[in-house]
Chain A
Amino acid sequence: MPRAQPIRLLIILAPADAAREKMAGPRLETVAAAYYLFRDREAEVVLATPAGGDAGVVKPHPDRSARLTDVARFLADRTARDDLADTLSLSQIVVEDFDTALCLGNCGGPRAGEATGIIPLLAALLCAGRPVGVIPGRGLLPGGESAANGLLLLAERRSWALPMAQALYALAAASGAGPAR
């Protein structure tokens, strides 16, 4: 049975942590890879950050950008750039509207008593049975959050963004009968 609606991916971008210099924001090449993997399969992609607005992703050096196909495409894509320049805030996200989610950037570990923010949103997505990917996933498992009904994919390296996006797409597609045609 065909899906009534296209697959919808939520990309959550964790901002740089100014207090801890090592935690730079997510990189454009990682975002672009996942973004186009879904977009090219007629899926919808929504970008969100904790406070909304410009995601502050780290762009590669211009010389390198030209060689990275997805980055060059993203930089020349007005809609994509608008998506990234004015992301939704987490409070505007309704979990049920998404088939899957990918969190890029250091989302930190779960903090006790935290009701809003990235970790509670990821938990809500998992509880709703949505497959969720996190890069880097250090500190989330083991012994932390329960994946509940959802499937939590963790990876450490940015280079895993594309295979993880492929896996998330496959999982989302399998949960229905594929995107609307």
Chain B
Amino acid sequence: MEDEFRFGPFSLRPDRRSLSRNGEAVPLGSRAMDVLICLVTHAGEIRTQAQIVAQVWPDTHVEEANLRVHVSGLRKALGDNRANPGFITNVPGRGYMFVAPVTRVDATPGRTGPEARGVPPAAQGRLFGREDAVRAAMAQLAKGRLVTLTGPGGVGKSAVARAILSRLDDGCRKVWIDLSEIDAGERVPTVAATAFGVATRSRDLVGALAQAMDDVPTLVVLDSCEHVVEAATLFVETILAGTASVRFLATSREPLRACGERIHRLQPLTTPAADAGTAEVAHAPAVQLFLERADAALGGYELSDADAPLVALICQRLDGIALAIELAAGRLETMGIAALAASLSDSFSVLTRGRRTALARHQTLRATLDWSYMLLEPAEQRALQALSVFRGRFPAEAAEAVLGGDGAELLAALIAKSLVVLEADRSVTFYRLLDTTRIYAFETLEGAGELEAVMGRLGRHLLGHLEGAGPYLYSGTTEDVATGFAHVVPSLRACLDWAFGETGDSLIGARLTVAALPLFFKLSLCDESLAAVTASIHFLDANPDLDETLRMKLYTALGWPQLVSADEPERGVAAWHASARIAERLGDVDHQLRAVWALWVDAVNRGEPGQGLMLAERFAGLTAASPDPADVCVGRRMPAATLHWLGRHEAAAAGLTEMLADYEYLPAGGHTIRFYFDQKITAHIILSRCRWFLGDEAGALEAVEAKLTQARSIRHTASLSNVLAEAACPLALASDDDALAARYVALLKEHTRLASLDVWHTYAECFESELVQRQGDSAGCLRQLRPNLDQLRSSGFILFEPVFVATEARALSRLGRHAEALGIVDRALARGRRSGGSWWAPELYRERAGICLRMSDAAGAAAGFDAALRMARAAGATALVRRVERDMTGPAFTSIYKSQLVPRPGRRQARGEQEPPHAARSADTPSDHPGPG
């Protein structure tokens, strides 16, 4: 259990050695922190000076005055005062007592509240001398859509950006994107997509992002663009061109040079003049920053006349670069001001070799980093190097895992020296290395030849962390998972890049990939999953028998719908076959079930329900050996659903109703993740379809609406899109409710645009083309439908082909292209006969009849209606029977019937008369009906 102590607006985490006020970190020297911990953990008790000294300085003799300095510093940090103490009181002659009420809470990770995504990290310390810069940049943001804060590293660009963000109150959404977390420019859109919850497999990622970003007026901070400046510029220009209400605030050492960019060059902090008096020195912003940090490091520090020239010299020497000043002040705990000034001076004189020309500021910073690094203890140097493997922020336990034994102490030492910064966010404390420091430390890590060892430790830590969180990553909502785990992604990414690189450990990479998959999927990082899975499989295929279970899991992942793009459907099937083979060899029932399920999905999608039924039965057979009773239910759902596509709606409905009744009693489990969709929702989708076909149109549409609400409530985009694509859109269209259909199609388009759901997006386009046709624009319908239908066919999604062929045929026929229309209908009917997918055949016959009517072919029309009626009645598809009957009593058929006196099949059948032999023959052999040419 990790304790957190709360008093007033403060939160103290002894394990993390962090103090925060209203979520903002309060800088405190390490001794002052020890004193505070000693007092707070004994709140309400008098602690004698001897007791405090014994706890804080266990091995050193310390004067009482020293303790007084730290207590005074503490009071200052807490905003307390001696005369009227609210927190720490002095009990004369005895010691000190913490008097404020303290609440002790368990702050173990996972018990803390979620942090909002995209909220910028809390600033550490105050901002000095930046008032004008903040105001000027804000004024520029009011005029232009791209403002770039430029200036050398360490000058304080990010701090100014944070200040701007916290002050801006024009009601816009604010999103912070830290580009220092990525190495490659091509990942700029990916990290932006994550920030906006857009899946990375969208066909047009930047376009999808532009739409998502433009929903509400938005200010995006792109922090640390310099190492990916070309990619950032391209990204910003594209987004600005495609949006109206998005603004960017970028920080970069060099300008983006993008269209319409307004550049605000951030100057270093003003340093005092050489001959300034103490008051003037203390007033200079560079000195104010130094004094604040000195105060924190020493537990109280006032600028004396003696120190003023030295402090001025230090700040001038460091060129007013904020980070350099912080690094220097961070040393005051171990050396006095004079020693500090002398040490810095020595260090710089080596660098300048007596030359008087100024150093470039990045050289000054680099020299300060060198100086600071050289002053570290060897163990601290190694710790700083090791921490550079983290990208972005990291929690204490991750740091300790990478640092080993005395990690907590080393982390505290580096914080005290300003080499590691603290980011307190509510009750969760994170640490990070500023980009400049991290790059420096990473170079020394590589130079020391320790990269492999440290990355290996990071990899093993991440593996344990992600494996431990597995069930939560599967079951948690996207928002909760993003809140708890988004900080892991940059380091995970870096670790995977290393693992699959030349000097990495691919086995760690493969294991990490499998453990990270649920996180990647949850955060819709599909491209990255695919890259990692592919690299892992490549490695394991080349090293057979190294870890077959791992290989099986990777093939399972490779077959996942998210990873199968529309362009190469065969890869998914091949992956599932591979996974099934390995699972069978290993006797792994779970993965056999997953693979057979996926192959069944594929068969159904390919419009091969006959084959699907065999796979469904194979699945049902396997469930006997499964420890999960829910699998038996899934095994009953699959054949029942398949029956629907075989045109046996009544049997399908009965099977599904039975399965759903049993499923109710099963505990909620990981089925959504194992079988991709929520099993209950997907069963209901087919059940609603069956109800519609069986004649209960209103009940079916009502059930569909209820399932949409449910899918929304569990926030499962895939299930939601599934309901829309397989039930809501087609059933609304089949019910001729165009307004409802238009609403559903729009919803489907919206959801599939943002997610990586290419196929369903294509479905949406096809459904929409039916609406276009109904509005009388047949040419427009064909323009929209045909490329999308081709796309579906080439992706192996044939299931709904009969529906779309009916649309296409009607459009062609209305344009007078009857022969073509009949040709495609007949081909679709023939295909249905081969595959057993006859569920929409009555409608195809009805369309055929309609085409014949337009050709004034009464016999053909009658034959079509006749076949449609027979098939619909045989399937018990009352809804389809009604549609045929409606057409048969419509004016078109009636007038032709009268003029040509063709037997009316429906009436004849209704009267129990013999069918005309030619009608039956025509319907069964559609090729007997050549078009008029």
Contacts of B230 in A (CB 8 A): 62, 75
Beyond A54-B255, A82-B153, whether A97 also contacts B360 by CB under 8 A is no
Within the complex, which residue of A46, A75, A78, A79 is in contact with B357, where a contact is CB–CB below 8 Å?
A46
- B interface, size bucket: 20 to 34
Kindly identify, within residues 215 to 272 of chain B, every residue whose CB is under 8 Å from any CB belonging to chain A. 226-227, 230, 253-255, 257, 263, 265
Contacts of B226 in A (CB 8 A): 81, 85
Check if B886 is an interface residue, CB within 8 A of chain A. Answer: no
| Nearest CB in chain A: distance from B586 CB, A | 46
Kindly identify, within residues 20 to 65 of chain A, every residue whose CB is under 8 Å from any CB belonging to chain B. 46-47, 53-54, 59, 62
User: Is there an interface contact between B253 and A85, defined as CB atoms closer than 8 Å?
Assistant: yes
Check if A116 is an interface residue, CB within 8 A of chain B. Answer: no
Q: How far is the CA of A82 from the CA of B255 in the complex (A)?
A: 12
Check if A94 is an interface residue, CB within 8 A of chain B. Answer: yes
User: Is there an interface contact between A94 and B360, defined as CB atoms closer than 8 Å?
Assistant: no
Interface residues as binary, B691-704 with A (CB distance below 8 Å gives 1, 0 otherwise): 00000000000000
Check if B61 is an interface residue, CB within 8 A of chain A. Answer: no
Contacts of B150 in A (CB 8 A): 53-54, 85
Within the complex, which residue of A54, A79, A97 is in contact with B254, where a contact is CB–CB below 8 Å?
A54
User: Is there an interface contact between A88 and B360, defined as CB atoms closer than 8 Å?
Assistant: yes
User: Is there an interface contact between A92 and B358, defined as CB atoms closer than 8 Å?
Assistant: yes
Kindly identify, within residues 329 to 373 of chain B, every residue whose CB is under 8 Å from any CB belonging to chain A. 353, 355-358, 360-362
Check if B151 is an interface residue, CB within 8 A of chain A. Answer: yes
User: Is there an interface contact between B253 and A81, defined as CB atoms closer than 8 Å?
Assistant: yes
Check if A166 is an interface residue, CB within 8 A of chain B. Answer: no
Check if B639 is an interface residue, CB within 8 A of chain A. Answer: no
Beyond A54-B255, A54-B265, whether A82 also contacts B357 by CB under 8 A is no
| Nearest CB in chain A: distance from B157 CB, A | 12
Check if A86 is an interface residue, CB within 8 A of chain B. Answer: yes
Beyond A54-B150, A62-B230, A86-B361, whether A81 also contacts B254 by CB under 8 A is yes
Q: How far is the CA of A58 from the CA of B356 in the complex (A)?
A: 30
Kindly identify, within residues 185 to 243 of chain B, every residue whose CB is under 8 Å from any CB belonging to chain A. 226-227, 230
User: Is there an interface contact between A83 and B360, defined as CB atoms closer than 8 Å?
Assistant: yes
Check if B152 is an interface residue, CB within 8 A of chain A. Answer: yes
Q: How far is the CA of A23 from the CA of B356 in the complex (A)?
A: 32
Contacts of B360 in A (CB 8 A): 46-47, 82-83, 86-88
Contacts of A85 in B (CB 8 A): 150, 152, 226, 253-254
Contacts of B265 in A (CB 8 A): 53-54
User: Is there an interface contact between A86 and B253, defined as CB atoms closer than 8 Å?
Assistant: yes
Beyond A53-B265, A78-B227, whether A84 also contacts B254 by CB under 8 A is yes
| Nearest CB in chain B: distance from A64 CB, A | 13
Q: How far is the CA of A59 from the CA of B233 in the complex (A)?
A: 13
Check if A170 is an interface residue, CB within 8 A of chain B. Answer: no
Within the complex, which residue of A5, A81, A88, A96 is in contact with B358, where a contact is CB–CB below 8 Å?
A88
Check if A93 is an interface residue, CB within 8 A of chain B. Answer: yes
| Nearest CB in chain A: distance from B124 CB, A | 24
Q: How far is the CA of A8 from the CA of B358 in the complex (A)?
A: 14
Contacts of B358 in A (CB 8 A): 88, 92
Q: How far is the CA of A82 from the CA of B439 in the complex (A)?
A: 14
Beta-carbon nearest neighbor of B362 in chain A: A82
Contacts of A53 in B (CB 8 A): 150, 265
Beyond A53-B265, A54-B255, A81-B226, whether A94 also contacts B153 by CB under 8 A is no
Contacts of A92 in B (CB 8 A): 357-358
Q: How far is the CA of A120 from the CA of B800 in the complex (A)?
A: 79
Contacts of A88 in B (CB 8 A): 357-358, 360
Beta-carbon nearest neighbor of A85 in chain B: B254
User: Is there an interface contact between A82 and B353, defined as CB atoms closer than 8 Å?
Assistant: no
Interface residues as binary, B120-153 with A (CB distance below 8 Å gives 1, 0 otherwise): 0000000000000000000000000000001111
Contacts of A94 in B (CB 8 A): 355-357
Interface residues as binary, A88-115 with B (CB distance below 8 Å gives 1, 0 otherwise): 1000111011100000000000000000
Kindly identify, within residues 258 to 288 of chain B, every residue whose CB is under 8 Å from any CB belonging to chain A. 263, 265
Beyond A53-B265, A97-B356, whether A86 also contacts B152 by CB under 8 A is yes
| Nearest CB in chain A: distance from B266 CB, A | 10
Beyond A53-B265, A62-B230, whether A86 also contacts B151 by CB under 8 A is yes
Contacts of B355 in A (CB 8 A): 8, 94, 97
| Nearest CB in chain A: distance from B297 CB, A | 29
Within the complex, which residue of A82, A93, A96 is in contact with B253, where a contact is CB–CB below 8 Å?
A82
Q: How far is the CA of A59 from the CA of B353 in the complex (A)?
A: 34
Beta-carbon nearest neighbor of A92 in chain B: B358
| Nearest CB in chain B: distance from A177 CB, A | 17
Interface residues as binary, B533-569 with A (CB distance below 8 Å gives 1, 0 otherwise): 0000000000000000000000000000000000000
Q: How far is the CA of A27 from the CA of B355 in the complex (A)?
A: 29
Q: How far is the CA of A16 from the CA of B253 in the complex (A)?
A: 20
Q: How far is the CA of A54 from the CA of B227 in the complex (A)?
A: 15
Interface residues as binary, B737-781 with A (CB distance below 8 Å gives 1, 0 otherwise): 000000000000000000000000000000000000000000000
Beyond A54-B254, A54-B265, A62-B230, whether A82 also contacts B356 by CB under 8 A is no
Within the complex, which residue of A8, A59, A86, A93 is in contact with B362, where a contact is CB–CB below 8 Å?
A86
Contacts of A82 in B (CB 8 A): 152-153, 253, 360, 362
| Nearest CB in chain B: distance from A124 CB, A | 13
Q: How far is the CA of A85 from the CA of B263 in the complex (A)?
A: 13
Q: How far is the CA of A84 from the CA of B360 in the complex (A)?
A: 10
Q: How far is the CA of A53 from the CA of B150 in the complex (A)?
A: 9
Contacts of A5 in B (CB 8 A): 353
Q: How far is the CA of A78 from the CA of B355 in the complex (A)?
A: 24
| Nearest CB in chain B: distance from A46 CB, A | 7
Q: How far is the CA of A97 from the CA of B153 in the complex (A)?
A: 25
Contacts of B255 in A (CB 8 A): 54
Contacts of A54 in B (CB 8 A): 150, 254-255, 263, 265
Q: How far is the CA of A98 from the CA of B357 in the complex (A)?
A: 9
Contacts of B257 in A (CB 8 A): 59
Q: How far is the CA of A41 from the CA of B850 in the complex (A)?
A: 84
| Nearest CB in chain B: distance from A137 CB, A | 24
Beta-carbon nearest neighbor of A87 in chain B: B360
| Nearest CB in chain A: distance from B147 CB, A | 15
Contacts of B361 in A (CB 8 A): 86
| Nearest CB in chain B: distance from A127 CB, A | 17
Beta-carbon nearest neighbor of A53 in chain B: B265
Q: How far is the CA of A153 from the CA of B360 in the complex (A)?
A: 27
Q: How far is the CA of A91 from the CA of B356 in the complex (A)?
A: 12
Q: How far is the CA of A78 from the CA of B265 in the complex (A)?
A: 19
Q: How far is the CA of A85 from the CA of B255 in the complex (A)?
A: 8
| Nearest CB in chain A: distance from B355 CB, A | 4
Q: How far is the CA of A82 from the CA of B436 in the complex (A)?
A: 12
Contacts of A75 in B (CB 8 A): 230
Q: How far is the CA of A87 from the CA of B150 in the complex (A)?
A: 13
Beta-carbon nearest neighbor of B233 in chain A: A62
Q: How far is the CA of A84 from the CA of B255 in the complex (A)?
A: 11
Q: How far is the CA of A18 from the CA of B41 in the complex (A)?
A: 66
Beta-carbon nearest neighbor of B268 in chain A: A86
Contacts of B357 in A (CB 8 A): 46, 88, 92-94, 97-98
Q: How far is the CA of A67 from the CA of B361 in the complex (A)?
A: 31
Beta-carbon nearest neighbor of A89 in chain B: B358
Beta-carbon nearest neighbor of B150 in chain A: A54
Contacts of B263 in A (CB 8 A): 54
Q: How far is the CA of A59 from the CA of B254 in the complex (A)?
A: 13
Q: How far is the CA of A78 from the CA of B226 in the complex (A)?
A: 9
Beta-carbon nearest neighbor of B358 in chain A: A92
Q: How far is the CA of A77 from the CA of B227 in the complex (A)?
A: 9
Q: How far is the CA of A62 from the CA of B230 in the complex (A)?
A: 8
Contacts of B153 in A (CB 8 A): 82
| Subset of 8 A-B contacts with CB under 8 Å | A53-B150, A54-B263, A78-B227, A78-B439, A86-B361, A88-B357, A94-B357, A97-B357
Task: Give 7 closest A-B pairs by Cβ, nearest first.
Answer: A85-B254, A92-B358, A82-B362, A94-B356, A97-B355, A97-B357, A86-B152
- Beyond A5-B353, A54-B150, A86-B151, 15 additional contacts (C-beta under 8 Å) are A8-B355, A53-B265, A54-B254, A54-B263, A54-B265, A81-B253, A82-B152, A83-B360, A85-B253, A85-B254, A86-B361, A87-B360, A88-B360, A97-B355, A97-B357
